[in-house]
Amino acid sequence: MEQAPCISQIATLLADPKRAAMIWALMDGSAKPSEELAMLAGLSASSANAHLARLAAGGLLRIEARGRKRFFRMAAADVSAAVDALASTTMASLARSAVGLPVAALLAPSSLRHARLCHDHLGGEMAAALYQRMVLAKWVERFEQRLHVTPLGARQLAERGIYTQALAQHSYSTMACDCFDWSEQQPHLGGALGAGLLQLFMQSRWLTVINESSVLQVTETGRLEIARMAAL
Burial of 223 (0-12, 13-18, 19+ CB in 10 A): middle
Q: Domain end: 75, 96, 116, which one?
A: 75
Q: Residues 124-174: pLDDT tens digits?
A: 999 999 999 999 999 999 987 789 999 999 999 999 999 998 888 776 778
Average pLDDT over residues 49-55: 96
Residue 162 lies in domain: 80-228
Q: Which of 34-43, 79-88, 165-174 has the lowest mean pLDDT?
A: 165-174
Alpha helices in the chain (DSSP H): 8-15, 17-25, 34-41, 45-57, 77-97, 110-114, 125-136, 151-159, 164-167, 191-203, 220-228
Q: Do 147 and 221 share a domain, yes or no?
A: yes
**Count of alpha carbons within 13 angstroms of residue 142, beta-carbon side:** 9
Whole-model pTM: value is: 0.80
Q: How many domains does the chain have?
A: 2
**Is residue 21 a contact partner of residue 36, using CB atoms and an 8 Å limit?**
no
Burial of 40 (0-12, 13-18, 19+ CB in 10 A): middle
CATH number, residue 14: 1.10.10.10
